[in-house]
């Protein structure tokens, strides 16, 4: 005899001001699980919800008489559909909090106050059923979800399976995994397969075949996650009024020739999907009873043929979840699904049907989109809480201190310390291709059983956090990268999504992650430049020795494609700022100190390396001295800037002769010659002008109010003073509106003597500080001379600004 759809009870929804939970029963936690009708948001209503155990009509009527719900006496339903009383069909209505259930078929039973023959018995009949209700509550009825079992197939514990389990545990689902430890008997990447799942399910159902009240959910796991709890799942299943409900898809698979046999659907998705279905245990036993196929056969084709057989479909009582109320398959539906954030909850909403599915399935080519949704669902990241799982499963670093690799480092330094300035594992002289070099590095770790982690850092990464490695190891992921961006730009080392052809696509959350408005640990499809890989992963899922080749992709894209192909998740963390990316597209390698030329491409790094740490204080007027009238003295260059500029000039080596004839300048004649090298001789003129604009011009405007400079110059040069070469400079005016004179080495250490004397004021600066500049007017007022250098070599950088 065919089973009638079960009804667990009458759901009452009432406003807190008009209704209270029954005494002795706590209010059930809200899962944010009600679906929205037009113009309202699920979970936004403040109503309290609970379920009353199934009652007789008289008892339910008495309870409604005693505690009338808002509106006309109905409870909030799902998608506007109320839960009717026994004998009443599904109805629609609206109340003070959206859709409510109405009860047109719920008549006053004999003996009630509204029955024509029993009005005199009103007090007794109203109070007696209420006492029965309280007694029933006190006994504590079993929860409906206690009769729910979730079955899935997982032959090994992949990261996808662990994600599935974590989402199930979040909602307290009971999970039983079938096939753990078995070989998957279908070649990876083949279109057919899945018969192994049917075989395992059939075996598992043998002990449940006679449990009429047991509801079983069977679902894939590697590419599935739960978005809501058992209560909502069971509620929607029973509202479907069928014994078995399959997920539905937009696309037919695997046999398109069967399309004409499918029943026509006026609203919703038409085709069966085998990745998820739910039903009563006896009905599911009937469903798989005829299976005698091979593990490599198609499970979807098997279930499809049963569904398309009208007799079997009616006998087993199968329907499809056409409007994605329970199951959301992403293949063919990516444009329909969005994230919905509200009140500390996050759900996937289907815009086409205005539903909130319970399970999300990244079937077919939509695994990356599921990874994106899985960064948030279920409630892993919300605007109110931030990342709620970032501290789960952390690896303890207790006992790992600064001495961890001390012995190895000391051994290496003892052998190579005298010869290395920076570490090179593979130099250009080897002429090894990029991908081959990366494969070699990964394989060194793979072959060494003591290698716990492989840390790859490209040349364009500037690590600034000393604890970078510890912070990455602590996250305990197989593959993880720290967020790295270029200063002031959205350029980063990860992609949030991929285009159809496998290249960059911007995800909805990309900008928020890059700019730090969303902080967490994110499952992403592409990382580059810097990443940490577990040695166990290189010896396990990523054991291929050719990780960095894949079709015609570059090594970074090939690596990520191969990692994705092995179902290994790549994570990106922006919980800490570990450094940033350099822009090396136009990096020059023809100079001794190539970083000096990076003021355009990497301005923040250039500033950090070459501009004095106290420059900002000087700009605020706190470190500016006035040793002579209208002569200002303030810090501008770091030790590195001074040293590298001097070394660059000496490396170039073409110092002038210090006579009046000078072909480098217009007219070919120099009135007051020095032994020098011009900035344009080393190709540094453009970079020097940028330096003047960014760092000298703001000081000029502050120190000489009302004067605004564009920092134009005809002459910028480094002067060398030596006792036996040119020890001093005769009195002169500079051909400038103002002049800067930067000391590039240290008096008393590198040389003796030297300095500058302003004759008009009889004022001398005899101990210029390394990295500090003198700024003074050029023409008319500040007639000056260079004082003799008596020992060593003195270097200064000079610019005649605004000639």
Catalytic residues: 794
Our measurement of the distance from residue 720's CA atom to the centroid of its chain's CA atoms, rounded to an integer in Å, reads: 54
Contact indicator for 662, 669 with CB cutoff of 8 Å: yes
- Please give the helix or strand (H or E) that residue 196 lies within, else none: helix 195-205
Please tell me the distance from the alpha carbon of residue 353 to that of residue 324, in angstroms, as a whole number: 8
Closest CA to 712 of 696, 724, 727, 726: 696
For tokens 């092995």, name the residue. 566
Q: What is the rounded distance in angstroms from the CA atom of residue 186 to the CA atom of residue 193?
A: 6
Please tell me the distance from the alpha carbon of residue 476 to that of residue 461, in angstroms, as a whole number: 22
**Would you tell me how many other CB atoms lie within 10 Å of the CB of residue 118?**
16
3-state class of 432 per DSSP?
A: coil
Question: Cα separation of 631 and 759, whole Å?
Answer: 13
Question: H-helix or E-strand containing 456?
Answer: strand 453-457
User: For the range 64-68, what are the long-range contacts, defined as Cβ-Cβ under 8 Å and sequence gap of 24 or more?
Assistant: 64/12, 64/103, 64/106, 65/112, 65/113, 65/126, 66/126, 66/130, 67/12, 67/14, 67/18, 67/19, 68/18
Torsion region of 680: left, alpha or beta (phi above 0 gives left; psi -120 to 50 gives alpha) = alpha
CA dist list (Å): 148 to 49, 144, 215, 504, 569: 21, 8, 5, 42, 30
Three-state DSSP at 345 gives strand
Measured at the CA of 528, the angle between CA 525 and CA 529, to 5 degrees, comes to: 165
Asked if residues 356 and 227 have their Cβ atoms less than 8 Å apart, the reply is yes
* DSSP-derived secondary structure for 752-795: EE--EEETTTTEEE-SPPTTEEEEEE-SSS--EEEPPEEEE-EE
Measured CA to CA, the distance from residue 147 to residue 174 in angstroms comes to: 10
SS3 content of the chain, % helix, strand, coil (to 5): 25, 25, 50
User: Any idea of the CA torsion for 271, 272, 274, 279, to the nearest 10 degrees?
Assistant: 150
In the block, residue with structure tokens 């179902």: 567
Angle at 237 between CA 232 and CA 239, to 5 degrees: 95
Q: What angle do CA 481, 485, 488 make, to 5 degrees?
A: 165
Residue closest to 271 by CA, chosen among 223, 303, 295: 303
Q: Beta-carbon neighbour count of residue 537 at 10 Å?
A: 20
- Are the C-beta atoms of residues 228 and 143 closer than 8 Å to each other? no
SS3 544: coil
């Amino acid at each position: 005899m065919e089973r009638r759809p079960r009804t667990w009870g009458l759901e009452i929804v009432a406003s807190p001001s008009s209704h209270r939970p029954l005494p002795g029963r706590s209010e059930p936690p809200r899962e944010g699980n009600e679906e929205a009708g037009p113009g309202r948001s699920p979970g936004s209503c403040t109503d309290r919800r609970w379920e009353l155990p199934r009652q007789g009509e008289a008892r339910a009527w008495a309870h409604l008489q005693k505690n009338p719900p808002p509106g006309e006496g109905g409870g909030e339903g799902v998608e506007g559909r109320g839960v009717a009383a026994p004998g009443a069909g599904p109805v629609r209505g609206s109340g003070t909090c959206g859709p409510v259930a109405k009860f047109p078929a719920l008549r006053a039973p004999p003996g009630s106050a509204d029955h024509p023959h029993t009005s005199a018995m009103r007090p007794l009949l109203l109070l007696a059923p209420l006492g029965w209700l309280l007694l029933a509550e006190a006994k504590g009825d079993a929860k409906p979800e206690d009769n729910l079992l979730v079955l899935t197939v997982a032959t090994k514990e992949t990261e996808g399976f662990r994600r599935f389990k974590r989402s199930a545990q979040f909602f307290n689902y009971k999970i039983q995994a079938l096939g753990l430890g078995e070989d998957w008997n279908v070649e990876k990447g083949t279109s057919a397969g899945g018969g192994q799942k049917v075989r395992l399910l059939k075996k598992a159902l043998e002990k449940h075949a006679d449990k009429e009240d047991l509801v079983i959910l069977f679902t894939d796991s590697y590419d599935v996650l739960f978005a809501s709890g058992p209560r909502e799942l069971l509620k929607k299943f029973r509202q479907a009024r069928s014994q078995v409900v399959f997920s539905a898809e937009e696309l037919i698979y695997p046999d398109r020739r069967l399309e004409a046999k499918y029943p026509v659907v006026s609203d919703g998705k038409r085709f069966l999907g085998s990745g998820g279905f739910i039903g009563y245990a006896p009905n599911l036993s009937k469903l798989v009873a005829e299976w005698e196929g091979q593990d490599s056969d198609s499970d979807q084709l098997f279930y499809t043929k049963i569904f398309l057989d009208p007799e079997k479909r009616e006998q087993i009582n199968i329907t499809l979840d056409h409007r994605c109320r329970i199951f959301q398959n992403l293949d063919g539906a990516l444009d329909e699904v969005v994230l919905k954030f509200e009140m500390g909850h996050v759900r996937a909403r289907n815009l086409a049907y205005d539903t909130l599915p319970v399970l999300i399935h990244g079937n077919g080519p939509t695994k990356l989109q599921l990874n994106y949704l899985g960064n948030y669902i279920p409630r892993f990241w919300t605007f109110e809480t931030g990342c709620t799982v970032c501290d789960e499963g952390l690896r303890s670093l207790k006992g790992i201190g600064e001495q961890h690799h001390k012995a190895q480092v000391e051994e290496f330094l003892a052998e190579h310390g005298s010869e290395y300035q920076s570490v090179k594992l593979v130099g250009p002289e080897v002429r090894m291709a990029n991908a081959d070099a990366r494969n070699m590095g990964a394989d060194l770790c793979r072959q060494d059983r003591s290698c716990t982690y492989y840390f790859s850092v490209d040349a364009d990464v500037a690590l600034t956090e000393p604890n970078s490695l510890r912070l990455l190891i602590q996250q305990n992921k197989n593959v993880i990268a720290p967020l790295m961006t270029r200063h002031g730009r959205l350029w980063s080392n990860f992609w949030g999504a991929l285009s159809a052809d496998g290249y960059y696509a911007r995800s909805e959350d990309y900008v928020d992650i890059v700019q730090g408005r969303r902080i967490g640990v994110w499952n992403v499809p592409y990382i580059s430049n810097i990443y940490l890989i577990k040695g166990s992963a290189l010896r396990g899922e990523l054991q291929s020795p050719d990780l960095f080749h894949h079709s015609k992709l570059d090594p970074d894209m090939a690596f990520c494609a191969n990692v994705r192909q092995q179902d290994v998740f790549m994570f990106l963390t922006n919980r800490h700022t570990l450094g940033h990316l350099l822009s090396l597209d136009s990096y020059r390698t023809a100079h001794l100190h190539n970083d000096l030329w990076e003021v355009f491409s990497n301005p923040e790094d250039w500033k950090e390396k070459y501009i004095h740490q106290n420059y900002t204080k000087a700009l605020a007027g706190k470190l500016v001295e006035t040793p002579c009238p209208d002569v200002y003295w303030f810090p501008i260059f770091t030790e590195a800037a001074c040293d590298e500029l001097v070394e660059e000039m000496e490396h170039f080596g073409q110092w002038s002769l210090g006579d009046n004839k000078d072909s480098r300048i217009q007219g070919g004649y120099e009135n007051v010659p020095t032994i020098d090298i011009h900035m344009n001789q080393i190709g540094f003129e453009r970079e020097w002008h940028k330096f003047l604009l960014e760092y000298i011009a703001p000081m000029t405007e502050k120190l000489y109010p009302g004067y605004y400079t564009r920092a134009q110059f005809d002459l910028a040069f480094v002067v060398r003073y030596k006792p036996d070469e040119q020890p001093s400079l005769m009195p002169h005016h500079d051909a400038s509106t103002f002049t800067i004179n930067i000391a590039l080495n240290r008096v008393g250490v590198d040389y003796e003597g030297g300095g500058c004397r302003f004759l008009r004021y009889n004022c001398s600066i005899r101990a210029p500080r390394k990295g500090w500049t003198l700024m003074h007017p050029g023409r008319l007022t500040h007639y000056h001379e260079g004082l003799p250098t008596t020992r060593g070599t003195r270097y200064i950088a000079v610019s005649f600004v605004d000639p």
